[in-house]
Amino acid sequence: MFFSIDQNSAIPIYEQIIRQVKFAIADGTLAGGQMLPSVRQLSRDIALNPNTIARAYRELQSQQILKPLRGRGMIVRRDALDACLDARNELVIANVRAALADAFSGGMSSGQLREIFEQALLDLEPNAAHTNSSQRPSGGEPSDE
Amino acid sequence: MFFSIDQNSAIPIYEQIIRQVKFAIADGTLAGGQMLPSVRQLSRDIALNPNTIARAYRELQSQQILKPLRGRGMIVRRDALDACLDARNELVIANVRAALADAFSGGMSSGQLREIFEQALLDLEPNAAHTNSSQRPSGGEPSDE
Amino acid sequence: MFFSIDQNSAIPIYEQIIRQVKFAIADGTLAGGQMLPSVRQLSRDIALNPNTIARAYRELQSQQILKPLRGRGMIVRRDALDACLDARNELVIANVRAALADAFSGGMSSGQLREIFEQALLDLEPNAAHTNSSQRPSGGEPSDE
Amino acid sequence: MFFSIDQNSAIPIYEQIIRQVKFAIADGTLAGGQMLPSVRQLSRDIALNPNTIARAYRELQSQQILKPLRGRGMIVRRDALDACLDARNELVIANVRAALADAFSGGMSSGQLREIFEQALLDLEPNAAHTNSSQRPSGGEPSDE
DNA sequence: GTGGTCTAGACCACC
DNA sequence: GTGGTCTAGACCACC
């Protein structure tokens, strides 16, 4: 599976699962209508208590991301993509703002912050082809309907 | 005092105090040799149980940031500044990296991230106008209207 | 359990617990991966407030001796043995040096100190007869009567 | 003065003073009838709160070590030497036994302990001429009467 | 069930 | 006055 769980993180495991399901939908790894691994299957795969998986699925269901198929499991709702893109964007924006607010409250300058940001981008960017332009088009979701 | 506690944060109160003491040292608000408010005084000022303050002070002591003067109170160690600058930088870098890692794992592009970063900087930067140059002098409010 | 707490000691109870956990790891009573008694269980067994136990466990955690398994309890870290052997040796060496420094500062001679040391060894050594040779094999109870 | 105070020690400062006065008497640095520095003088010399000095002198007086001369200060009682030698010996013996008990409770062997003891002796012995004989005469106090 | 946080309040030694 | 320890008990999230 595509889950990577950090047992030591301060973020509860069920939250990590919720987030990773949403992000997988946001980036297209999981598409509408697709089936999720069963609670039992997944609990074996990633060695977690089934209760923890079940809790994550339950919350994703109540957030209208997943839909239960009676007796068969959970599928991704056809209309889940927008909610997942929004969730992703909100989370990322909140993270960035929190990091900046922390930095300013400790007296750091925006110059130092830009350096840190660019360095982190260099280190982490998946397709490492870094360009200096900050005017690239904003992205937008390709329509694959 | 300079403390601002968020009772509803997921971050424990004693951790908020620890962080704010370190950041106050990092930005020069608290200098080496300076006295901290007493446990009882601070507990009155920010309406917290003295045990909570004492716990924060105790951890700062074991991290070599504060030093107790027996029967008199807590002072900032002369050599605390470096540790506090390091702590601040590490925290900010970790925050930024976590935000970026999250974003990439959700399929966001570095272009989108730069926009989010610059927007957050605009919103949060304390009393400073934004210019696009990253070599601009560190202070000043140039009018680019 | 293997804890023996002295309520009247000048050493705080939580420090006694910390020391005894480390020493139990050092002498092999507690091995890496092994589970500790839960805070509530131990607080019942040795008639102490759970907060006191929790404080000891918390500090052992921050010293990388124990590791919390969320919702399940505390285990001894696999790599804790070295740290515990070091802690034990450092403590013993510090104790011995402090005793000797005190003695010398009061004008005592090394001859007097050797007598005191050998007498204390005779009195305290667990189930072992004393011989004058310091190269004797490490176990066994030779009868030198 | 002959005092060396460790502000950070777990041992209270007034206890350090008491011990150092007794040990100075035990090793002959302070003789019966000799005058101690006044509370004010000493508090200036070693930069301590006069209350702390006064408390130490008060306890030494109640232990029959010092005697107040009205309006002039404290002198060492003529019969203080025996009490001071006893106090020194008891303290050293207690220290040594405590160190050994700690060591055994952590699974250390008497062989290891002898090594530690001899090493500490080598490091600390004031007139570093170390001999291997452990049968030296026990010392005894020279009579200078 | 588990540990973690927080409040409330007692008591202590030290200055 | 100062910080440090300890008890008692509530409440929380997680498993």
B41 C-beta less than 7 Å away from strand F:
yes
The total of structural domains in chain C comes to 1
pLDDT classification of A141: cutoffs 50, 70, 90? very low
B6 is a domain residue? no
For residue B142, tell me if it sits in a domain. no
Q: Dump pLDDT digits (tens) for D104-136.
A: 988 899 999 999 999 999 998 876 554 444 444
Kindly state the percentage of chain D with pLDDT values over 70.
85
Neighbours of C77 (CB within 10 A): 19
Instruction: Output the pLDDT for position B61.
Output: 96
The 10s digit of each residue's pLDDT in D55-78 is 899 889 988 999 988 877 889 999
Mean pLDDT rounded to a whole number for chain D: 82
Contact B112 A22 (CB under 8 A): no
Q: What is the 3-state secondary structure (H, E, C) of chain C?
A: CCCCCCCCCCCCHHHHHHHHHHHHHHCCCCCCCCECCCHHHHHHHCCCCHHHHHHHHHHHHHCCCEEEECCCEEEECCCHHHHHHHHHHHHHHHHHHHHHHHHHHCCCCHHHHHHHHHHHHHHHCCCCCCCCCCCCCCCCCCCCC
DSSP lists the bridge partners of residue D75 as D35, D67
On chain A, the residues whose CB falls within 8 A of the CB of B130 are 110
- pLDDT of res. C127: 62
Contact B14, B60 (CB under 8 A): no
- D6 pLDDT band (50/70/90 cuts)? confident
Question: Is C81 a domain residue?
Answer: yes
D51 pLDDT more than 60: yes
Residue A3 has a pLDDT of: 81
DSSP category for residue D1: -
Which 57-76 residues of chain B touch chain A by CB within 8 A? none
Residue D34 has pLDDT above 60, yes or no: yes
With 0-12 / 13-18 / 19 or more C-beta atoms within 10 angstroms meaning exposed / middle / buried, residue B99 is: buried
Chain C CA closest to residue D126: C104
Q: Tell me the angle at which helices A80-105 and B80-105 cross, rounded to the nearest 10 degrees.
A: 170
Domain that holds residue C83: 1-126
C57 touches strand F (CB under 7 A): no
Name which residue leads in pLDDT, D112 or A13: D112
Q: Are 3 or more Cβ–Cβ pairs between C and D shorter than 8 Å?
A: yes
**pLDDT confidence tier of residue B128, bands split at 50, 70 and 90:** low
Residue D133 within a domain:
no
Q: E strand or H helix at B75, and its extent? A: strand B73-76
Inter-residue contact C51 to C39 (CB < 8 Å): no
User: What is the pLDDT of chain B when averaged over all its residues?
Assistant: 87
Over its C-alpha atoms, chain B yields an Rg (Å, rounded) of 19
In a domain, B87, yes or no: no
CB D110 within 8 A of CB C125: yes
Min distance D71 CA to chain C CA atoms (Å): 30
**Burial zone of D76 (CB within 10 Å; 0-12 exposed, 13-18 middle, 19+ buried):** buried
Banded model confidence at residue C137, pLDDT cuts 50, 70, 90: very low
Compute the count of residue pairs across chains C and D with CB atoms less than 8 Å apart: 132
What are the φ/ψ torsions at residue C39 (nearest 5 degrees)? Answer: -50, -45
Question: Residue written as tokens 């001071």?
Answer: D84
pLDDT class for B119, splitting at 50, 70, 90? very high
Close Cβ partners of C39 (under 8 Å, ≥ 6 residues apart) = C50, C53, C54, C57
Highest mean pLDDT among A60-64, B141-145, D67-71: A60-64
pLDDT value, residue C85: 95
C70-129 tens-digit pLDDT: 889 999 999 999 999 999 999 999 989 988 988 888 889 999 999 999 999 999 887 655
Confidence band for C6, pLDDT divided at 50, 70 and 90:
very high
For residue range A111-130, what is the model confidence (pLDDT) as tens digits?
A: 999 999 999 999 988 765 54
**Per-residue flag: A49 CB under 7 A of strand F:** yes
Query: CA A83: distance to chain centroid?
Result: 12
Average pLDDT over residues A46-54: 83
Average pLDDT (A36-51) is 83
Per-residue pLDDT at B33 exceeds 70: yes
Contact D121 C105 (CB under 8 A): no
Say yes or no to pLDDT of B142 above 80.
Answer: no
| Residue of C12, C63, C65 lying closest to C36 (CA atoms) | C65
CB proximity C5 to D under 8 Å:
no
pLDDT of A37: 86
Contacts of C92 in chain D (CB under 8 A): 99, 102-103, 106, 108, 113, 116
How far, in Å, CA of A89 to CA of A85, rounded? 6
Residue B33 lies in a domain: yes
B65, B80 in Cβ contact below 8 A? yes
Q: Does residue B135 belong to any structural domain of this protein?
A: no
Q: Which of C16-20, C130-134, D88-92 has the lowest mean pLDDT?
A: C130-134
From B87's Cα to the closest Cα of chain A, the distance in A is 10
pLDDT at C141: 44
Q: Are A106 and A98 in contact (CB under 8 A)?
A: no
B39-47 CB contacts, 8 Å cutoff, 24+ apart: B42/B1, B42/B3, B45/B1, B45/B3, B46/B1, B46/B3, B46/B5
How does DSSP assign chain A, residue by residue? Answer: ------TTSSS-HHHHHHHHHHHHHHTTSS-TTPBPPPHHHHHHHTT--HHHHHHHHHHHHHTTSEEEETTTEEEE-TTHHHHHHHHHHHHHHHHHHHHHHHHHHTT--HHHHHHHHHHHHHHH-SS----S-S-----------
| pLDDT on residue C82 | 96
| pLDDT band at residue C1 under the 50/70/90 scheme | low
Q: Rounded mean pLDDT of D76-86?
A: 92
pLDDT at B139 over 60: no
* Contact of A48 with A10, CB cutoff 8 Å: no
Chain D residues whose beta carbon lies within 8 Å of the beta carbon of residue C95: 95, 98-99, 102-103
Distance of CA D112 to the CA centre of its chain: 27
Give whole-number Cα distances, D40 to B123, C12, D21, D53, D72, in Å. Answer: 60, 34, 17, 9, 12
CATH number at residue D80: 1.10.10.10
Q: Judge whether residue B137 has pLDDT over 70.
A: no
Residue D143 maps to a domain: no
pLDDT digits (tens, 9 = 90+) for B83-113: 999 999 999 999 899 889 888 888 899 999 9
Q: What pLDDT is recorded for position A140?
A: 41
Which percentage of chain A shows pLDDT scores above 70?
Answer: 85
Query: Per-residue pLDDT for C2 more than 90?
Result: no
